[in-house]
Amino acid sequence: MPILISGTIAFPPGTEHFIGATLYVMVEDVGMMGAPAQIIAQHTQRNVSYDGSPIPFSLEGNMPPASNHYNLRVLVSFSGSNEIERGDFITKQRYSVLQNGTPDTVRVQVERV
């Protein structure tokens, strides 16, 4: 499958190094107002380590219709669950992606919950 999105995940200054986390990168279709976002592509990576450098990622899939609106969401989980828990890192801002029907490269900032 082709790469839809690639990029890096940046952590806040002062974040302690860690090992053994699970990384979830999701592309959501957010085009329907009032409807829950639908995940159209997801990448899961286990045993992720952070040494102070941004963590690279790539997400593969088929290019969705360019007419819809898509958001990139990231969760770095320390329990391995795809549910957000205290101490995890998440995206807190919107990252619009795939707006022109082309792959994207993005730098994602995460914040601790």
CATH code of 11's domain:
2.60.40
Q: Give 37-49 pLDDT, tens digit per residue.
A: 889 889 999 999 9
User: If DSSP states are collapsed to H, E and C, what string results for the chain?
Assistant: CCEEEEEEEECCCCCCCEEEEEEEEEEEECCCCCCCCEEEEEEEEEEEEECCCCEEEEEECCCCCCCCCEEEEEEEECCCCCCCCCCCEEECCCCEECCCCCCEEEEEEEEEC
Q: What's the domain range around 40?
A: 3-112
pLDDT 10s digits, 3-35: 889 999 999 999 999 999 999 999 998 877 777
Whether the model pTM is above 0.85: yes
How many domains are contained in the chain? 1
